[in-house]
Amino acid sequence: MDFLESIKIENHKIYHLAEHQKRVNQTFEKFSPKAEVLDLEQIFRQQIIPKEGLFKARMVYSDQGYSLEISPYTPKKITSLKVVTKNDISYDFKFLDRKALNGLNDDKPEQEIIIVKNDQITDSSYANLVFYDGKKWVTPKTYLLNGTCRQRLLKEGKITEEKIEKKDIQKYQKIGFINAMLDLGEMTWDIDIVEL
């Protein structure tokens, strides 16, 4: 079984490697407890890290080894967000196989989805969600994947968790995406981008 880590590199700096290592450790513990865990710091020491610009390091790994590709990163252009209900979805580890998520959004290339499970807001197909109520940013308690950026922002007190149901979306002013490549405030929209 293959897993995926996406790691931000900007101007020769590798971001939040400790958080990614923690997730790799948890993945090995769950799926390959007897295998030797990959050491991300050691892996990156062997790489040529770009000196300027924003890059995404995409590491596919398993207990059999890994492959790593570093390529320039440009955020996906999104012009609409569509709410999709999928009550049987599960994606609690960062699997390379994204069958659970693929096929939920086949309408428009610039459209992304907000996944609802049992009437609770969860994630988009590639990022955790945050909502702004005019005073603070909140993230749904009912995530699909507890992303590294989400965990860090909660720990730093920059976001809080709340139960958010589909009917609650319109009470917020803004919606945003957070993941390893997108920090808080880097990809946000007014709430009226959401198609309920």
> How far is Cα 14 from Cα 100, in angstroms, rounded to an integer?
29
Residue with tokens 């990809």: 187
| Residues making up the chain, counted from first to last | 196
Structural domains of the chain, count: 2
What's the rounded mean pLDDT across residues 91-108? Answer: 80
CATH number at residue 146: 3.20.10.10
The last residue of a domain, from among 51, 72, 93: 72
68 and 96 together in one domain: no
What's the rounded mean pLDDT across residues 160-183? Answer: 97
**What residues contact residue 194 under an 8 Å CB cut-off, 6+ apart?**
81, 82, 83, 114, 169, 175
The single-letter code of the amino acid at 159 is: I
- pLDDT class for 106, splitting at 50, 70, 90? low
- pLDDT class for 196, splitting at 50, 70, 90? confident
Kindly report the pTM of this predicted structure.
0.93
105 and 26 together in one domain: no
The last residue of a domain, from among 72, 104, 120: 72
Domain span at residue 38? 3-72
- The pLDDT assigned to 107 comes to 65
Chain centroid to CA 87:
20
